[in-house]
Structure 1
Amino acid sequence: MKFDRPILGLDIGGTNIKGGILIGEKLLDIRSIPTPANESQEVVLETIAKFIATYKHHGIGAIGIGIPGLVDVENGIVLNLYNIPSFRKVGLKKYLENWFNIPVCINNDANCFILGEHRFGTARDFKHLVGITLGTGLGSGIIVNNHLYNGVNSAAGEWCSVKYLDKTFEFYCGSKFFISEYGKKPKSLAKLAENGDEMALEAFVQYGKHLGELVKNILYTLAPEAIVLGGSIRKAYPYFKDSMYETIDTFLYPSVKENLKIIISDLDETGICGAVALVEEYMEY
């Protein structure tokens, strides 16, 4: 991926705003600042703009931004950010383009995750992809024919809200499952599992079964070539891999199941990479 001028990628979260510059093929000058999550909309906007201004010496030509919420992608309007309460129907694209006079592209952070994997990661050779982020919540993004599929307001692939058992897939495939059912966070359970703790090992066996059901749901819906797993829980993959695949084996169409590749993300700074890739995805630059 090559541009005539450097591209700034921002990964805006409820805790930190992280940035990095793509120059040629290299991601450089990665840094972050705390997000003023509980401040007014004006304060948050000004904080983002001032952070971007610290990168101006690079001669940036465009900005890509990933945010954890729904986005009117065409108009660059952030519809809501659950971790930043004051951000409701914010014209972030227009605000920043007026400030810096360069193009700005904005999308959901899970969409940026899979776009980053497709452009920079081990999934670059696949045309049809789904990315799943496994963490506090459950996020997902979709690549169809080598391009990001958003749906309306970047809401495509919101399997987090799909009803599953007595709750939703987000409960059973995110950290809430471990905390509610086993009283510990997945990171703590992974350390116990590493030492052979039976309770921890069983927790991941059950988790793998639930994740396998999510994968089946995705296969019935989109039949992708590959699914990329990201997020912090992916690091415990060895403990839930077998039960996940045992569940996937019950999928009804062997030709789809047998061609599926499940990839564990090893890409650094996926959010920033995906934000940068938005520029290539949405505009001639």
Structure 2
Amino acid sequence: MNFIYSNSETKFKLFSTLIRKQSISRSDLAQILNLTRASVSNIVSELKKKNLIIESDKISGGVGRKKILLEVNSDALYVIGIEFERKSFTAGIYNLSGNLLKHLKHKFYQIQSIEDILKDVENSVVSLLSWAQKKNINVSAIGIGIPGPVDPEEGVIYNVPYFLDNKKYELKLEFEKRFGIPTFIEKDANAAALGEFWYGIGRNYNSFVYLLMVEGIGAGLILNQSIYRGINGLAGKVGKFLFLNENKKATPFEKYGGELSILNLICHYSHKSPFYSKILKERDIKISDFIDGVKRKDTISLKVLNEVEYYIALIISNIIYLLDPNLIIIGGDLINVKDDFSKDIEKLTKNIIKDHPMPEIKKSGIYNMSISLGGATRAFMEIISTLLK
């Protein structure tokens, strides 16, 4: 059945399909979206007038009449995407095709307070806006991916764990007052999922789970082409899944599978490792040391990795039983611990769920920018939704 209407939701869905497919004909859009060609042509005409899409010089092959392909106009919109983490932040300017034009990255030796990091982030935004002005680039919005809890509508963060402070911050209001630019806030795992949905390997799937492994473990859920946050914004807190430990006490999985748990385990075993004992004489151990230790085949590093992989496989098994996704994307610095990390996780998961159908488990190809790109994606989505009303 074909639908002959062009409301804002349909317009946005068509644009989203076009940006994910990168290059597509009008007739293919009509088939994918189950619309009449007349409806597609009307929407395409409007998108062209708004300068959001262009007709490509590429021609679709095949038998019969050649098809003119449509593409996103990369220069139609520019936004700043920010990854706001506990020991670092990244801020960059992206165009509508998801290309990173300019970026600034800052790392801290120790976990900071949100207030202290905000000062550096705002200074970086000033630098990016100055660069954009020199290049005659108009920045339309700012999108920020930050650890939750987050109210994505109000742009407020509450009691975010593992920072030195855990106060309420009205980030959206603060950034809009400072820069006069629409600003949108998203939980880091959700932002990463949005980045994958439009610009990463998730663009070929209508539903998937993005598993983000940082200090804790969280997930971004794309269900039927939309981010799912839950009624109270708690959806995706998979690191809080509980199991009974050896003392029969309910324990969250991230206590054994996140980066902080890795560092705690290493400190516990460090007296057995000359590699870590040497590091501890000079400074605290970092997650990059663990990755280096695995590559060096340090015995303690490999022992900790085996434990962590098992708990991650348990989390993924629970996700499979709960959502039955056809794709799980793994992101975070931990995926660099070894080349076949995702394959190890997949093998362990298969052993746990036995004959249950397995989803694809893939390593994020944009893990090092998925959160900042995801923040940018959220900003693009909001601006485009407004333009198409």
TM-score, shorter chain, exceeding 0.5: yes
What secondary structure sits across from 2:203 in the alignment?
coil
Deviation at 1:3, TM superposition (A): 6.1
Once the two structures are TM-superposed, the CA of residue 217 in structure 1 deviates from its matched residue by 0.3
Q: TM-score, normalised by structure 2?
A: 0.63
Residue 30 of structure 1 and its aligned partner are, at CA, apart by 0.6
* TM alignment of 1:58-97, pairs within 5 A: 58-86=137-165, 88-97=167-176
Match of 1:264 in 2: 363
The 3 A distance-change label for structure 1 pair 27 and 72 is same
Structure 1 residue 199 displacement after superposition: 5.4
The change in CA–CA distance for 1:143 and 1:52 in structure 2 (over 3 A counts) is: same
Cα pair distance change 1:38/1:208, threshold 3 Å: closer
Asked if 1:21 is matched to 2:93, the reply is yes
Matched, 1:274 2:374: yes
Secondary structure at the aligned position of 1:154 is classed as coil
User: Structure 1 counterpart of 2:326, which letter?
Assistant: E
Q: Which of residues 257, 274, 283 is equivalent to 1:173?
A: 257
For 1:200 and 1:113, the matched residues in 2 are separated by 28
C-alpha contact (below 8 Å) 1:208/1:241 kept by paired residues: no
Aligned 1:1-285 pairs, distance under 5 A: 1=19, 2=74, 4-25=76-97, 26-33=99-106, 37-38=112-113, 41=115, 45=118, 47-56=120-129, 57=133, 58-86=137-165, 88-166=167-245, 167-175=251-259, 176-177=261-262, 179-180=264-265, 182-183=269-270, 187-188=288-289, 190-194=291-295, 200-237=301-338, 238=340, 241-242=343-344, 244-251=346-353, 254=356, 256-257=357-358, 260-267=359-366, 268-283=368-383, 284=385, 285=387
Distance 1:74 1:65 in 2: 13
Contact 1:209-1:244 within 8 A present in 2 as well = no
Any idea what SS the aligned residue of 2:143 has?
strand
Moved more, 273-282 or 204-213: 204-213
Q: Secondary structure at the match of 1:262?
A: strand
Aligned equivalents of 1:32, 1:207: Cα separation in 2: 28
% identical equivalent positions: 24
For 1:91 and 1:59, the matched residues in 2 are separated by 25
Deviates more, 1:61-70 or 1:144-153: 144-153
What TM-score, normalized to structure 1?
A: 0.84
- Aligned residue pairs, count: 280
Gaps of 5+ in 1: none
Residues 102 and 162 (structure 1 numbering): CA distance in 2 closer, same or farther, change over 3 Å? Answer: same
Cα distance in structure 1, aligned partners of 2:306 and 2:324? 25
Shift of residue 235, structure 1, vs aligned partner? 1.7
Q: Distance in 2 between matches of 1:227 and 1:5?
A: 30
Relative contact order, CA 8 A, sep 6+: which one is greater? 1
C-alpha change, 1:54 and 1:227, in structure 2 (3 Å) is same
How far did residue 77 of structure 1 move? 1.1
The secondary structure found in structure 2 opposite 1:7 is strand
SS at match of 2:352: coil
Pair 1:37–1:216, CA change in 2 (3 A)? same
In 1, Cα distance between the equivalents of 2:146 and 2:346? 29
- Which one has a bigger Cα radius of gyration? 2
1:173-223 Cα offsets, whole Å, 9 max, x none, are 223146426446765555454455565445433333222211110011111
> Structure 2: 5+ residue runs without aligned partners?
1-18, 20-73, 246-250, 271-275, 277-284
- Measured in 2, the distance between the counterparts of 1:165 and 1:240 equals 26
CA contact (8 A) 1:138 1:170 kept: yes
CA distance in 2, matches of 1:243, 1:90: 37
Residue deviations 1:136-195 (CA, integer Å, cap 9, x gap): 321221111122111245321101122124232102222314642644676555545445
Q: Deviations over 1:102-136 (max 9, x none)?
A: 21110111111122122221221111111112233
TM superposition shift of 1:44: 5.6
Alpha carbons 1:66, 1:107 under 8 Å: kept: yes
CA contact (8 A) 1:193 1:201 kept: yes
Determine the C-alpha separation between the residues in 1 that align with 2:198 and 2:322: 23
Q: Counterparts of 1:9 and 1:240 in 2: how far apart (Å)?
A: 27
